[in-house]
Structures are given as C-alpha cells and as structure tokens.
Chains A and B, each alone.
Chain A
C-alpha cells in the first residue's frame, strides 16, 4: 500500500508548470512526447524533496502511526507554506511497515529503489528500527528515526541513521532516576516489554537507580504480544516502594486496569512511562486507579498553565486540543509524548538540507546532508522545536533534551518536574563519523 497524501500546496508545482508549458506549446500531446525535457528543465527548482514516511499504519504500533502521519502532514504544510526546503516543496510518500521489522527493511528498500526518496523517516518501534537500519545503510539512504530506544545513540546502527527529534531511553531514565529515588522511593520493581525498547529501560534505569543508592527489587519482562497481565503481578514483591511500568502495544489499557484491580488502594508508589497510556483516554473507566501516580512525558499531553506559544502553535497546527485529544474528536487521544519527534525531525532534516545546499540525490549531496546533520550542535526552542531546546551530538547522531514528570491529578496530567538537558547526558562512546560514507 503506498500513496502520497501530501502534495505541495504553494509555489510552483510540477503540475502547474506542466500545464503552463502545455498551454504554450498549444498541445498536451507534445508534453507526453517529451516528458524528459520537461523534467530536466525543472530540476533543482521545483522538483519536490521526497521524504519517505515509514509508518506503523497497522500492527501493534498503529495508534502511534495514525498520529505520526497527522503530525507529518502538519509539519510539511508549515514547511511548504514557508517556501519548502531550498525553495523546493516537500512531498511525503507513505509506506506501511505493519510494525514488523522484516517489512520495515522491505519498506526502506522500496523507498530507495521504487519511490527514490531523498530521506526515509518516521519509524518508532525499536525492533523495526533495528530491522530496517542495516538496509538503509547498505542502500546509503539517510534514515531519520523517531524512536526512543538507545539503538542509535549506542552506535549499534550505521552512519546513515539519525535520531534528532526525540531523546533516547538511556537519557530519559538517567534524567529522572534522581527525582524518583528522592520523591517516590528507592526499592523499585520494573515491568517492561521484553524486547529492545524494554531492555533499554531494564538496563539503564537499573543502572541509574543504583547510582542513586536505590535497588531493583524485581524485573518483570512481558512479551510484547501478551494480552493479559494479572499472572505477572504476584511477582511484585511486598518490599517494593516504587512500581515502574513501561508498556507498549494494544494491550496497555488492559495492563493498567489489571494493575488497578490487583492493587486497589493498597498500591506502592507508581511511576509509569506514558507509553503505557499513549492514545488512551485517562477518563476511561477503571483508570481512576492512576490518580496520584506519576508519568514520564516527552511532551505534556495536557496544555499546562505556563504553556509556551510554540506548544500552542504546534497543537493548533496538528489539530490537538488542550486535553491532548483530536480537535475534531475528543475521544481520539493523541500520542502527544512522542509525536512531536516527527515535527522536530522534519525541521532537523530541513536545517541539514539547507545548511548543505542539498540539491538532489547525488552521492555528494547525500554526503553533504549527513555531514551537515552531524555538524548540528543544538536546536533552539521555537516553532520548529516546540518541545524545548535540545543539544545534538554529531558523533552518535542523537539529541538530548528535557524530560517531564507529571502527576495524575483530577484525571489530568499535571507537570510536576521538568529535567534540565544536563540531567540526561551520559558519556558518549559511539562515533558514527568515523564510519565511511
């Protein structure tokens, strides 16, 4: 399934040029006879920059996919309304990867050979990123992911893979561990999905909480396709002070409900990653149990009292109301904590393409694009980066930014702490710039 939903709105589109030329020539027939001539005459001016959106349209990542698509459409509209990239409009081509690593690699290949895109972008689930990234490297296709796992930052992937729009799990958890140990408790039981993303939490949060003088009382790994969780809950030892949960996929609501049934009012402190409830309405019955628990949020779902004008603008463009739901359907809850990564990644692509004077798909242009991206050192907070300012490390292709801790208060998520960028920094060992292009 492939389609191109986003067409350039303004500026000189290829179609309008074709029509104009057709009129001048006096016959559409002439155009069909020499299409090569037309394309050649327009190269470098109005030929669109093609961005391939590798989308979890189906499979367990579908609710993220729905919003990644909307955010992409909104960001591209803003970019095109502002004159595009290097004067060229942006066109997005979508391929569904079914949240499946094997199909992910096929999608990357399709982007390179069939659609001939300039950049592939958008992937979220870490197993899909890890499955697709090697193929992107082989095809020398810049691949900008909007994931969270530590896979890009760890140096596991290759020089063509970037994560400029969202922080990695390792950075997120070390930024928050001090707050958790200070405010909630030091004995932590972790519940996490049993694959790459969950393992990042297991490894780096365990490390971070120990560094705070805390200890991990239990590690409960749950297969990503699991649909019932009560059977895992007895593994939570009674000495647990803090229950740390991070879950993904369609069953997350079930997970939180069963957690509530199991504990009732006698729960330990609970700290969750909002991944467990992205796209889920906090007003869903039985989620009252979460009242008073804490969540990590990449970007606060509910508009806060001190909402920035950039968040306001971004919310409006993406069509999300102050409660984090679709402006047209209050029941359609966004994946607000992650999807800003799409917006910011597209502006990072724009920035790198403009810095390198990217013109087309020549090896020289691609090399220039990658080196320009690696040369970026920071992103300022603004319309392009509404979640906040970030620093970018060209060596491991990863950005570092602020994290938010929110408390469920009266059925809303209220921000209680925002970490500094420095809180999420760790010693970077990877260096992609040493890899050849």
Chain B
C-alpha cells in the first residue's frame, strides 16, 4: 500500500482510538479534578458498561439498532447508579482520604470484575452494530460504524464541554473543584456533587464502552487496557483539565494509530509510556494541568 492510503487508515484508526479514549479519560479526569480521587476501578465501569450493553442488546436481539440504542441509554444509567452507590457507601465513608480511596477503588475493581465473571461468565460476547455499511476506499474498506463512533464521541464531548463551562451544573462542579470549603460555605451540597460527579465519570466510561462494544466485544477482562490508557492520557493532559484530556487523548490516540500501523502496536504503547515519564519529569502537573495550590 502507498504512503497516502496507509496514512489514511492510520488516521482513521487513531481517531477511533482517540474518540473512545477521550470519553473514558474524561471520566477519570473529571473524578480526579473535582474529587481528588484516583479511581482505579474506572476501567471496570467501562467493562460493566459493555457487559450491560450486551445484556440489553440481547433482550432486543431481533432488532440490532433498537437493542444498541436502548443499551446506549440503559447501560450508562445502570453504571451510573452503581457508581453512585459505591461512592455513597464506600468513598464517602473514607472521607475521600487519598490513600484510602486508592485502596478502596482497587477493591471495587476486583469486586466488580469477579461479580461479572460469576454472573456473565468468562466468554467474550459480541453486540451487533446498529447498522452495517462498509466504506470502500480505493485501497481498502473501512467500517462505517467506526466513523459513527468517532462522530458520536465528538458530539458527546461537545455536550460535556457545554455542561462544564456554560451551565449552572458545571459552575457548581468547578466551584467544588476550585475550593471545596468555600463552595460549601456558599451552600453548594459538596457531598451530593461528589456523588454525582463520581457517577458521571463512570457513565462516560460506560458510554465509551457501549460505543466500542460492537467493534470489540464484551469481556470481563476488557477494563484493564482503557484504564492504563486513560491514566496515560490524564497524566499527560494534566489531571482535572478538560482541554488537556482532549488534546492528550488526540495525541495518544493518533500516535497510537499511526505508530501501530507503520511500525507496531507494542512500540506505540512503549512510546506513550515514555511520554508519560517525560511529562512527569519535565512538567509534573501535565501539559495543561494547573500547578497544585
């Protein structure tokens, strides 16, 4: 294949990767930004999103599109509810102590993963894409659904950006993030905000999973990769920075796509890890992160 088509495929693959990664990493970043919690269970909320999507879609297996769009509604809601319960029952009681919450979320990771293993089983199961068409480029074909995922992720990001920057809800979240005590003094129910933010973070992961599951299948061990990549993105972009997360996800996603296609996926992972190390050495707060005050 010539360089041009090669690059096109690499870009498409990179954009797909970036799209899903942005949503997942945004959830992680949001939770850290507002709550100062490193959510190690984030990948499991992603996995849970995919598994619930399979379950929902299999209820309506006669019509793949209906099943998929129902999953797109139900899966994030259920995952959000589970995350909210986890936050209220566990993290709140730990008073958001940084070390304790890390251990607690590691615990949540295993509990969720093993519960899914028991309930759903160890098999990978496919969810049918809502529609199927193949975009035939002169050199290769590409799934139209993949392009839809990229578009959907961009739309969702726009919505997130709007909520965070233009609405009262976003203002409350930013206020809580900026100074918890002052926000409380101004009558913001910080505890509740924490609960909702934690749920929202998990829901973003779940949405990403529903979008990806027709491409990659649902499997109980699928949470690990997105967790690692999200951490990479969030560290590079700067913890808690929306802009940083999006840009870092684009950098990591696209470089992953291009390097994977031209060289090897293993090299792509090595380079992103190296990038994390470099960022930590030269700009520990991340490319767009604010310095700790």
Contact = CB atoms under 8 A, between A and B. Distances in A.
A199 to B, nearest CB: 16
A284 B126 contact: yes
Among B13, B124, B215, B219, residue most surrounded by chain A Cβ atoms (within 10 Å): B124
Interface stretch (B115-123, B157-165, B196-204): B115-123
A254 interface: yes
B140 interface: yes
Interface in A17-76: 57-60, 62-63, 65-66
Contacts of A225: 225
A260 B134 CA distance: 9
A285 interface: yes
Interface in A215-250: 223, 225-228, 230-234, 238, 250
Contacts of A238: 1
Contact of B219 (A223, A226, A250): A250
A62 B217 contact: no
Interface in B111-166: 117, 121-124, 126, 128, 132, 134, 136, 140-143
Contact of A231 (B5, B121, B257): B257
A60 B122 CA distance: 8
Given A223-B265, A284-B126, A262 B140 contact: yes
Given A226-B265, A253-B126, A58 B217 contact: no
Interface string A422-433: 000000000000
Question: Which size bracket describes the interface of B in this complex?
Answer: 20 to 34
B117 A223 contact: no
Contact of A230 (B13, B126, B128): B13
A286 B141 CA distance: 13
B110 interface: no
A264 interface: yes
Contact of A250 (B64, B124, B260): B124
B18 interface: no
Nearest to B139: A234
Interface string B227-267: 00000000000000000000000000000010011000110
Interface class of chain B by DSSP: mixed
A261 interface: yes
B141 A263 contact: yes
A238 B215 CA distance: 26
B91 interface: no
A228 B14 CA distance: 12
A251 B141 contact: no
Nearest to B259: A231
A140 to B, nearest CB: 32
Nearest to A98: B122
B48 interface: no
B28 interface: no
Contacts of A227: 216-217, 222, 225
13 contacts: A57-B122, A62-B122, A63-B122, A223-B266, A225-B225, A231-B260, A231-B265, A234-B1, A234-B6, A250-B219, A258-B143, A261-B134, A263-B141
A-B residue pairs, 8 tightest by C-beta: A250-B124, A62-B122, A231-B260, A58-B122, A264-B141, A261-B143, A231-B261, A250-B219
Interface of A: 57-60, 62-63, 65-66, 223, 225-228, 230-234, 238, 250-251, 253-254, 258, 261-264, 279, 284-286
